[in-house]
Amino acid sequence: MFQHILVPTDGSHLSNKTAERAVAFAKAANAKITALYAKAPVGHAENYGDLIQPAAIQRLISGSDGKSKEYLGAIKKLCKEAGVESTTLAVVSDTPWEAIVKVAEDNNCDLIFMAKHSRGGLSSLLVGSQTYRVLTHSNIPVLVFRAPKAHASHHKHHKETERVGEADSEKGSKKA
């Protein structure tokens, strides 16, 4: 069904788990993978004037390049071990979700397989979800992976919080 899967990564533990699952999925589907790391632009020394030394900017660029090689190399290794054809891309973008959609379209991917980070509440409203933006702007199907263990621990914590709240309200009603 799917022949070319885009797997974006940010190097997080959840992204790594998602990549593992994506590789297994690709192997079962006999599909190839394009792994993507969208890094933020660092800029040029002339944009900063005397605020930042050129050597410091060069260290930032080198560090960013090192991260992309590390993150994409891990996915490349997973693919090689599983016998899945793969390519890697590192792109510079202020908006990772736009880079994900554009790379998927430009490379004729027929599925985007990505993680859903559990950022919620005010943080999610202010920063927004890259996954949500990909879901709402992509014409390509998106498979969103959420690690079962993270979901289970979040669910357990939520239930424990509810129980504590119920116990507190019972104590309050006994006092009244």
Q: Domain segments of the chain: what residues? A: 4-145, 149-176
pLDDT attached to residue 24? 98
pLDDT attached to residue 116? 83
pLDDT attached to residue 97? 94
- Residues in the chain, pLDDT under 50: 44-46, 123, 125-127, 150-152, 158, 161, 169, 173, 175-176
Q: Distance between CA 32 and CA 92 in Å, rounded?
A: 23
3-state secondary structure (DSSP) of residue 88: strand
Closest CA to 90 of 128, 134, 53, 35: 35
Helix (H) or strand (E) holding 14: helix 13-29
pLDDT attached to residue 129? 82
- For 99-115, what is each residue's pLDDT tens digit? 999 999 999 999 999 99
3-state secondary structure (DSSP) of residue 72: helix
Superfamily of domain 4-145: HUPs (3.40.50.620)
pLDDT attached to residue 59? 57
Distance from the Cα of residue 119 to its chain's centroid: 12
Where are any strands of DSSP class E within 28-123? 32-39, 86-92, 111-115
